[in-house]
Structure 1
């Protein structure tokens, strides 16, 4: 190991911690006062860094929030590529979504954590965040389409787009019920049933193409 390697690791760790501190400071301010009411300067001050430093880590206010979704980019494509032999792509994606519901993954909208519910409200009810979220979804859709068919057939692109739309509709519907104060167990059961229904609808159009 060269003498520079430990220093490189420490610098990487420090950058990760700074990035996390910036995001946490920003989201806390957004939840408290609203996305539009908080300036970049206030976020930088709360995290004890300069504005130029903040912009080295995040290109915009929106990225301070939506970076949480970046961890899941390409996930659907990986699920399809890594699926067990004999399992269709949609079967693998449905199992993955059901597993997310069981694990209370915030990406499914099913969570009993008040802070996560508030975070999802921030994303869903802030127009600029909702608009920027589509950039992440588009990238995820492209990755899934490539996993379905590396040759780029239009059928694969259509199925990928439909899956992404279905996933978002299911997550938003589930979150909306929880945000309205409905019983968690009832919402969970509804989410399971709607997931099965949604994938049955998807299969109706995708089966002819082997997905």
Structure 2
């Protein structure tokens, strides 16, 4: 699941809606994190991931190297900076879904909503070709990307187990998470390939929306326990 650091559109008086309700200290920390990742992304895309040091990122962001590591324990996480957000969205979609809403329906709503809103995690839009070329050119980023997918799949398995009332050791939530992750990843991989080929983002988004719908239709047929009522607790 790829990510791109970018500025957020401000609300009234230039206030970022994502900062609503945050304390001044929390806003400062959030903006520092964005500045560090933004500078890192710029440098990695311009020069290549392996050719840029953490010290250079720190200098560009006007912070110390220690500050960089306080926000990003691994260099790869400077580029894949939206992984915590992706994890939070998955948890929220399953755990806080509406009354009577099936887990797969909640995940479908999340996937299609991210794409419709132009969210960076949807992988369609200006700049994503550069992002993915940087990832594909870096063995370290590709390896970290595979680890991230495994981590998100494991997280999803835990949440699905809770949502369905599965007994400890039941393999079904893990198998379901693997199928969902594979289907979702395949849908996005199609979009990535088209963007790398230079296809217009609008056309890619339209096709990706159709692919996502077909993917979740197939998943609902394959995983009826996630498309209907919860198991009895």
Specify the alignment match of 2:179 in structure 1.
Answer: 162
Q: How does 1:166-181 map to 2 (within 5 A)?
A: 166-181=183-198
From the superposition, tell whether residues 169 and 14 of structure 1 become closer, same or farther in structure 2 (CA, over 3 Å): same
Q: How does 1:1-211 map to 2 (within 5 A)?
A: 11-111=25-125, 113=126, 115-150=127-162, 151-152=167-168, 153-207=170-224, 209-211=225-227
Q: CA offsets per residue over residues 43-85 of structure 1, 9 Å max, x none?
A: 2222233323322322221011112222121322321222233
**Structure with higher helix content:** 1
CA distance in 1, matches of 2:206, 2:27: 41
From the superposition, tell whether residues 77 and 55 of structure 1 become closer, same or farther in structure 2 (CA, over 3 Å): closer
Q: CA offsets per residue over residues 138-172 of structure 1, 9 Å max, x none?
A: 33223322222224421111111221222222122
Residues 156-165 or 195-204, more deviating: 195-204
Other structure's SS at 2:208 match: helix
Specify the alignment match of 1:4 in structure 2.
Answer: none
CA distance in 1, matches of 2:136, 2:185: 11
Other structure's SS at 2:86 match: coil
CA distance in 2, matches of 1:185, 1:22: 30
The alignment's C-alpha RMSD in Å is 2.3
The total of aligned residue pairs comes to 200
CA distance in 2, matches of 1:45, 1:65: 16
Where do 5+ consecutive residues of structure 1 fail to align? 1-8
From the superposition, tell whether residues 197 and 124 of structure 1 become closer, same or farther in structure 2 (CA, over 3 Å): farther
Where do 5+ consecutive residues of structure 2 fail to align? 1-22, 228-233
Q: TM-score scaled by structure 1?
A: 0.82
Contact 1:141 1:160 in 2 (8 A): yes
Q: What's the offset of the Cα at 1:98?
A: 1.6
Q: TM-score scaled by structure 2?
A: 0.75
